[in-house]
Structure 1
Amino acid sequence: MTTESPSEYNHLETLPTAELLAGMNQLDQTVPLAVSRALPQLERLVEATVARLRAGGRLFYIGAGTSGRLGVVDASECPPTFGVPAGLVVGIIAGGDLAIRQAVEGAEDDAEQAWVDLQARDVNEKDVLVGIAASGRTPYVIGGLQRARRQGLATGAIVCNPGSAVAAAAEFPVEVVTGPEFVTGSTRLKAGTAQKLVLNMLTTATMIRLGRVKGNKMVDMQLSNLKLVERGERMLMDELGIAHAEAAELLRQHGSVRAALAARQ
């Protein structure tokens, strides 16, 4: 439980703001290095996820507290970024949607509830389940992974302690060992940052492998606001060498960057 080890810093309440910020920033710089050491594990999880999604499966996240919220955030960003259906990547948090905004006491301690929550989404053996738990000991996540693995789902985990029960319950664990936090045990800090980085990489690499990026551009993004429409217009201008007015009309006619490019190429 290195995430529970005492902080390398002490007497925090006596430090000026500049020193508090510098200390947190110094520790944060260790996170990408910790993630880099877990890249071989993450590669295996990405490959398994790509294979299941290509075969018609979905990606589910389960977690509690900060870990659960990060999963919900990552899932919610996939449709607008990559143009995939809202149900392709699903984040489930212990305690339900209320827990996204406030703590639901005891929800993470129920080892049976995750599978109940997953059954409500009709999970099956085509799907992938990734459990997210900084500590690696959350009963909600352990129980969900164990039951899902018995039912034939591909199972992954993102944890921040070595040799954890959550990692043991998953076929494709990703262990990013981040060490002690600035405030002892506050895993919304370094551990949360590490989890966010891994989630970014998992879905981005998966969507690229599934053909949802062309070159380096989000050609399937949803044109749901002015910023994204303007981004789409710039993509067409750059790719096709056309003026803004023509790009805007082309995007209006076809409704997506990918469709507009296909119409002209």
Structure 2
Amino acid sequence: MSVPPTEERNPHTADIDRLPTLDMLRLINAEDRRVAPAVAAVLPRLAEAVELAVAALRAGHRMHYFGAGTSGRMAVLDAAELHPTFGVGHDRVVAHIAGGLPALHDAVEGAEDDVELGAAAARAMSAGDVAVGTTASGGTPYVGGALRAARAAGAATVLVSANPAAALAPLADVHIAVDTGPEAITGSTRMKAGTAQKLVLNALSTAVMVRLGRTYSNLMTDMVASNAKLRGRQVRMLTQATGLPAHACTTALAEAGGESKVALVALLAQTPAATARRALERTDGVVHAALSDLRNP
């Protein structure tokens, strides 16, 4: 069996243990700089994954992440941020990590090697859903079990790996293979491969949310304002989008029951909050479409 690129020895860092601290950090940073171009090379595949996820979520289905170790933790982190950032229900994008919650802070013995554990995690999936398997090596058995079960259920499948020759690639409708090469410390995939996974998942979920109308321009219209900082961000977003003073935006936000998107449409269309809310309901919550709907009744 071939060795994944992440397990090969990096010739550039062979002397890392004998370098002064600053030189060591420069060497690690030089390796890190290889990650973004490697992600750029797979953007067409990433775009395909975005389209799959948009179609699924728009149709009322779900997206599930599956991973182990660093890859699983990155998936859990990405999914956890979507509710507060974009107001997405916790059950719409779900992350599964081999070993469950304890694996977030400790290695769970044998969990990533358990094919049946992965299959069991995917049993909640149904036709129309999307499964995203994350594994640096591209061969983690837990992820393989999940992708096989997801495919059997009629779900679309995506594999995110750091191995262009990933063993699990045949199980994926889309394989996003970010070739980050050997790690600075051989096999330590929490480094470049982990960074690549974070960049890919952040880009995937953000692009999906934008396509679903969860932003207006580059502003978060659906964030959950659960504290004073975020309530202040709501008002700031409204002032940035409309050019109106903060006091006018605060009033509009109150009239909209604290819903940023309703307040935004009300301010831009100069219409009551109730009218703005109905327009958003007619247009699946997309601000530009709601504004067009109000201007062209």
**Contact 2:121/2:146 (<8 A) preserved:** no
Name the counterpart of 1:77: 81
**Contact 1:61/1:131 (<8 A) preserved:** yes
- 1:169 Cα deviation from its structure 2 partner: 1.4
1:109 is the counterpart of 2:108: no
Letter in 1 for 2:228: L
Name the counterpart of 2:164: 162
**Contact 2:122/2:149 (<8 A) preserved:** no
Name the counterpart of 1:126: 128
Letter in 1 for 2:217: G
Distance 2:110 2:128 in 1: 31
Distance 2:122 2:166 in 1: 22
Letter in 1 for 2:194: G
Name the counterpart of 1:15: 19
Distance 1:241 1:175 in 2: 43
Name the counterpart of 1:256: 259
Name the counterpart of 1:188: 190
User: What is the percent sequence identity of the aligned residues?
Assistant: 48
Name the counterpart of 1:24: 28
Letter in 1 for 2:263: A
- 1:31 Cα deviation from its structure 2 partner: 0.5
> Superposition pairs for residues 18-97 of structure 1, below 5 Å?
18-97=22-101
Name the counterpart of 2:104: 100
Distance 1:81 1:52 in 2: 20
| Structure possessing the higher radius of gyration over alpha carbons | 2
**Contact 1:212/1:218 (<8 A) preserved:** yes
Q: Deviations over 1:235-259 (max 9, x none)?
A: 1122233222232232233212101
Name the counterpart of 2:243: 241
Name the counterpart of 1:220: 222
Name the counterpart of 2:286: none
For structure 1, the residue ranges without an aligned partner over 5 or more in a row are: none
Structure possessing the higher relative contact order (Cα contacts under 8 Å, 6 or more residues apart): 1
Distance 1:187 1:239 in 2: 41
Aligned length: 263
Distance 2:75 2:130 in 1: 14
The structure 1 residue matched to 2:6, chosen from 3, 8, 31, is 3
SS of corresponding position for 2:139: coil
Q: Deviations over 1:34-79 (max 9, x none)?
A: 0111111111111111111111111100000000000000000111
- 1:115 Cα deviation from its structure 2 partner: 1.9
Per the normalisation by structure 2, the TM-score is 0.86
Q: Deviations over 1:223-242 (max 9, x none)?
A: 11222111111111222332
Distance 1:214 1:94 in 2: 36
Letter in 1 for 2:207: A
Q: Deviations over 1:12-49 (max 9, x none)?
A: 22211101110111111110110111111111111111
Letter in 2 for 1:262: V
Distance 1:163 1:240 in 2: 49
SS of corresponding position for 1:57: coil
For structure 2, the residue ranges without an aligned partner over 5 or more in a row are: 270-297
**Contact 1:133/1:166 (<8 A) preserved:** no
Moved segments of 4+, more than 6 Å: none
Distance 2:105 2:253 in 1: 37
SS of corresponding position for 1:165: coil
> Superposition pairs for residues 146-157 of structure 1, below 5 Å?
146-157=148-159
